[in-house]
Amino acid sequence: MITGLAHVNLTVPVGTLSAAHAFYGETLGLTSSPVPHLQRDRLVWFNIADSGQQVHVAFGREADFDGPVARSSSRHPCFRLQSPESLLELQRRIWAHFKSGGEGAPSECDEPGGQNSGEFQDGWGVVLFRVC
């Protein structure tokens, strides 16, 4: 079902994108990738070689850096999936675990088929959930 990783979104404090460029670009040697025009001053993307995988670095919320991971954190992985059907199946599995609770259950997630519950495009899928 999950075939790989499309990207991981990491957060940094506001005003530190130059430090992120220095670390991820210069120290780690990742190649900077263009971001949507309207987000240029709020996030940076880096390619991991020619794997099709990326590291996204965005400004976090103040709560992201103070104590436990905030429920509103924008940190997340984005997985590559086999098909739109795989995306729906994964959404259903996550939703079922959320509803039943128990160990490792998401603290939040979108109901499959609901508004903004995910998308599938060019081999990657978006499933919105949070495990805290």
Residue 29 tokens, joined: 């040697």
Are 86 and 71 within 8 A, CB to CB? no
Domain end marker among 40, 57, 78: 78
Q: Say yes or no: 69 and 49 in one domain.
A: yes
Q: List Cβ neighbours of 47 (8 Å cut-off, separation of 6 or more).
A: 30, 31, 32, 33, 53, 54
pLDDT band for 45, please (50, 70, 90 cuts).
Answer: very high
Cα–Cα distance for residue pair 85/132, rounded to 1 Å: 27
pLDDT of residue 112: 79
Query: Mean pLDDT score of the chain, rounded to an integer?
Result: 77
pLDDT reading at 1 higher than 80: no
Q: What tens digit of pLDDT does each residue of 62-112 get?
A: 655 555 555 556 666 777 777 878 878 888 888 888 899 888 777 777 787
Q: Which residues constitute the domain of residue 100?
A: 82-132
| Domain total in the chain | 2
Query: Domain of 24: which CATH number?
Result: 3.10.180.10
Judged on CB neighbours under 10 Å (0-12, 13-18, 19+), 60 is buried
pLDDT reading at 132 higher than 50: no
Q: Say yes or no: 116 and 62 in one domain.
A: no
pLDDT of residue 125: 55
Q: Say yes or no: 56 and 96 in one domain.
A: no
Q: Say yes or no: 59 and 89 in one domain.
A: no
Q: Say yes or no: 41 and 86 in one domain.
A: no
Q: Say yes or no: 21 and 50 in one domain.
A: yes
Q: Say yes or no: 110 and 46 in one domain.
A: no
Which run of H or E residues covers position 86? helix 84-100
Whether the predicted model's global pTM rises above the 0.85 cut = no
